[in-house]
Structure 1
């Protein structure tokens, strides 16, 4: 390849650092192919060797290796056929780059884009791919969205996945490991450009009333173009999301709402949130690029909390390599009042074990984000139950320099959270591929 870099190179971390730093294996070399021909030669050589290697995009699944990292960051071009409405996207293009491109070439159409703007396209697809459009068009990896891919196979041969149906099937949420994807073909769908979305912050003390309202709203089966996610925001972190924090500000619950049917419809269906006492409305009307921009606030702020100093960023890419992180995902058909309350209570009790872990951890309720695969479960490698609706996600983190004891606490929390929150209903939940942790999840048992 044109670029072979070692740890002394200034760009080495960009091409090799895992998101969760505890998974760092300190490879001595990174290969950066610039062409499919170069990649083919590398893949053929590595698979015939005894070297430990990994293929890496943007590193959010924390890939690392003892010997060699193959960085795919050169494969990021985007092309578009405006007649067929098909986007051809390089493996390491980010979703923000894709929606920015679509805004320029065909603003009335959009591909389903992951909610996090800085993650790579291929990694999302290989892990199922959830988006703001998932309740309408299914997972990004579903056949209605993901049409084909160029793949370098283990022996170095290059094929379009559609030439080998089993290969294409495995790429639809199979988690990777089935060759190296260089580009993907995605179908664009007609989509509104006047989406109403943004944050509504509500005092956390209103949670008892909100729990019933959340449950009632979710059971009402809103339009597929309507969904939202919810997370907790301690008062000392409000300055990271609000341009001005009022005196006497309280711990908050953040509702990040989304309605592609427009502002009036959105304000009507989310009236129950907007009219809560003390609600702060930070919603606006925008297109898909604007939606992803909301998750990409390019600023950093140091927040001091007694003996703790926490660096907060609105751009998740800035956190790469700064924390030790484990996930506890729970994809469920229903989240009743008890489960929501139990999840919040579990988060609150983290502070009793380690306050710094609590400050760096999150509980996120992604409501109304699933639908069954369009075309049938047999068409995708991650079939998922047709009853799934919501994703409850715990992200447990400690500082990158955290102790072994803190790592043990992360593991303990990740293993205990699902059972304590869901109880006997855990057996009906599923683990989405993006949240799979082979260290403690039963990989063969994943549905």
Structure 2
């Protein structure tokens, strides 16, 4: 405890130790189903404070787990100092160069709000409250990945603190190995304090959700397959099977299109032949409004997820997904991939040839429900053709880096870890040595 007590003299940010008021809240991850044991919590004041913490941890033999808010937490944090980076919240936009610089604590929605007035967009996912840096460290699937690839592909440089506590600015030229590892291999190699990333033109944007009773699922699935079979890279369409407590089962189609309303409606025309929807929120929107399409929760809550990559969405797969009620799951989502995801990528994931991602989610209110959720997820995954690997950013606490990367990629990541952090100062949600 003496070593931990000295944290207060080593950093300027807030230090919370076991027994302190607010410790339980400070260590809490976003996913309340995950128990996150830590030895201390440090909320860094700035990048210099991060460097001071790393130097202290290195000399004291401590490990650091870095999280802005704890999306993707796995509980593999026992004995670590939990570093919160929420106060690293600067956002700078260079509209002429189509570049942004964002601090490690910046959520996706803030970047979108800053870029949208310039007719630009980052590569946001479905939630506006997940950090840009956290998504990029995991590779990152986004609404516009079909047009622009992994979120990590748009990262052009990083400010980091290395395992010696030095602040460094790295890119593909200055430290190609470390830069490669951090663009999709997780936070096991350094603390990223800010990112520089390319922004993309979005002068016109159209999107929203259509929602039907579940009895129309087969027809909606047919329309979804028809749309995605010929969709241009500028269009991304997701299908959601939904069953919320207290409501009847439903099916939704979510869409985002980098273009105008006329072009979007033409591409989505197969939806017009379906029965009248319960709701239709599709409209012209700004890049700052994308986070509202799926209306995901913006406050912490308990969840249990499983993701798979589908090799094909053929007739058998399309029929098996809506064949039974999804309960006790709340949602089963199909994300259309393809496009730029299939192209070369100098990142740990590399190209993503699988055309669809399947994401299954439930709320484990008690042990029996948690067991039932896992069983339902297993049954659904077994009913469709999957590749066996998973997007790193979608791994759940029961999985590891080996579930996302090939053996050769994992070996390379481990060598970079050993070279850059031989004393294991950094411990990510999914360590490469696991």
TM-score by length of 2: 0.82
SS at match of 2:52: helix
What runs of 5+ residues in structure 2 fail to find an aligned partner? 1-10, 407-434
CA distance in 1, matches of 2:63, 2:50: 17
> Residue 435 of structure 1: which of 375, 379, 394 is its match?
394
Equivalent of 2:316 in 324, 338, 351: 338
Instruction: Please say which of residues 405-414 and 387-396 is displaced more in the overlay.
Output: 405-414
RMSD: 2.6
Alignment partners' CA distance in 1, 2:185 and 2:272: 40
Q: Secondary structure at the match of 2:45?
A: coil
Mapped to 1, the partners of 2:371 and 2:31 lie a distance apart of 15
- What is the aligned partner in structure 1 of residue 412 from structure 2? none
Q: CA deviation at 1:421?
A: 2.0
Q: Distance in 1 between matches of 2:206 and 2:152?
A: 26
Cα contact 1:234–1:252 (8 A) shared by 2: yes
Query: What is the CA–CA distance in structure 2 between the aligned matches of 1:260 and 1:120, rounded to whole Å?
Result: 23
How far apart, in 1, do the equivalents of 2:403 and 2:49 lie? 34
Deviation of 1:286 (Å): 0.8
Give the structure with the higher percent strand. Answer: 1
Greater CA deviation, 21-30 or 64-73?
Answer: 21-30
Counterpart residue number, 1:380 = 347
Aligned counterparts of 1:444 and 1:226: Cα–Cα separation in 2: 29
State the number of aligned residues.
390
TM norm structure 1: 0.79
Structure 2 equivalent of residue 365 of structure 1:
334
**Matched residue, 2:218:** 208
* Mapped partners of 1:289, 1:396: distance in 2: 28
- Give me the whole-angstrom Cα distance separating, in 2, the residues matched to 1:292 and 1:223: 22
Partner Cα distance (1:289, 1:414) in 2: 33
Secondary structure at the residue paired with 1:365? strand
Could you give the per-residue CA deviations for residues 136-162 of structure 1, whole angstroms, max 9, x where no partner exists?
Answer: 1111101xx110101111111121222
Residue aligning to 2:265 = 267
Q: CA deviation at 1:274?
A: 2.8
Superposed CA deviations along residues 187-213 of structure 1, whole A, max 9, x for unmatched, are: 112222x32211111232122333333
Select 1:97's aligned residue among 84, 104, 110. Answer: 110
Task: Indicate yes or no: 2:192 matched with 1:230.
Answer: no
Return the offset for 1:186.
0.8
Instruction: Provide the residue aligned with 1:152 in structure 2.
Output: 161
In the TM superposition, 1:415-426 aligns within 5 A as 415-418=378-381, 420-422=382-384, 425-426=385-386
Match of 2:78 in 1: 66
Aligned residue number for residue 286 of structure 1: 285
- After the TM superposition, which residues 22-421 of structure 1 pair with which residues of structure 2 at under 5 Å, given as runs? 22-51=33-62, 53-64=64-75, 65-67=77-79, 68-104=81-117, 107-142=118-153, 145-162=154-171, 163-192=174-203, 194-220=204-230, 222-234=231-243, 251-279=249-277, 280-295=279-294, 314-318=295-299, 320=300, 322-323=301-302, 325-345=303-323, 348=325, 351=327, 357-358=328-329, 361-368=330-337, 371-372=340-341, 376-377=344-345, 379-385=346-352, 387-399=353-365, 402-403=366-367, 405-418=368-381, 420-421=382-383
Pairwise CA distance, 1:410: 4.0
